[in-house]
């Protein structure tokens, strides 16, 4: 954004915070392309972001940062919230297990194991858990995750890879221990 437009935007913000609704609307119109970009043109995200921006516009401080950065942060957070609110998993159970373990020679009791697997996912370090959930459960692209989390695509791939390794280790060890324990219990009790 050039300096002339930045100065105009600052003037609009000051006028808007003084109560001029037309100035507020013009300021938001200037940053709408940034909001669309952050929401990946998702209509719900766009609408919710604009509502949040209008609601909190009076509290925006020009001295602390740019309107563009503030709007981008609100839009990113709204996109993450909407992804987390989705009540369905985009992969079916077999695809989900296959994406984690890359093999189908493990036998799982579906309900019990899926609960344990989700428990293991939630116990991962926060970056690994967030990146893994966004990629595998919500089917977000590596590029989108990198932009949402403000990290490189390589970092996203690294976090997901580490998460899969940890899940393989933790989950399979627990499943094997359970199987060995059941066999020992039947044999000796």
For 126-146, how does the pLDDT look when each residue is reduced to its tens digit (9 = 90+)? 899 888 888 877 778 888 889
The ranges of the chain annotated as CATH 1.10.10.10 are 93-188
Q: How far apart are CA 5 and CA 29, in angstroms?
A: 12
Q: How confident is the model at residue 154 (pLDDT cuts 50, 70, 90)?
A: very high
The ranges of the chain annotated as CATH 1.10.1740 are 3-85
Give the architecture (CATH level 2) of 93-188: Orthogonal Bundle (1.10)
Q: Find the mean pLDDT for residues 112-122.
A: 71
Q: How far apart are CA 48 and CA 65, in angstroms?
A: 22
Question: What does the block give as tokens for 125?
Answer: 């370090």
Q: Taking the chain, what is the end-to-end CA distance rounded to the nearest angstrom?
A: 75
- Among the ranges given (39-53, 97-111, 169-183), the one the predictor scored with the smallest mean pLDDT: 97-111
CATH of 3-85, one of 3.30.70, 1.25.40, 1.10.287, 1.10.1740: 1.10.1740
pLDDT of residue 105 exceeding 50:
no
């Amino acid at each position: 954004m050039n300096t002339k437009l930045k100065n105009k935007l600052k003037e609009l913000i000051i006028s808007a915070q003084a109560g001029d609704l037309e100035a507020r609307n013009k300021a938001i119109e200037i940053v709408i392309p940034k909001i669309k970009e952050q929401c990946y043109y998702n209509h719900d995200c766009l609408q919710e972001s604009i509502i949040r921006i209008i609601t909190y516009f009076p509290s925006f401080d020009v001295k602390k940062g740019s309107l563009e950065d503030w709007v981008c942060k609100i839009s990113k957070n709204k996109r993450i919230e909407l992804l987390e609110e989705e009540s369905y998993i985009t992969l079916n159970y077999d695809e989900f297990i296959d994406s984690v373990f890359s093999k189908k020679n493990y036998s799982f009791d579906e309900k019990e194991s899926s609960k344990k697997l989700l428990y293991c996912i939630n116990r991962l370090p926060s970056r690994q858990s967030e990146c893994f959930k966004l990629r595998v459960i919500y089917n977000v692209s590596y590029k989108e995750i990198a932009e949402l989390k403000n990290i490189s695509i390589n970092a996203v791939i690294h976090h997901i890879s580490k998460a899969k390794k940890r899940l393989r280790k933790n989950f399979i060890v627990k499943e094997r221990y359970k199987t060995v324990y059941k066999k020992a219990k039947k044999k000796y009790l």
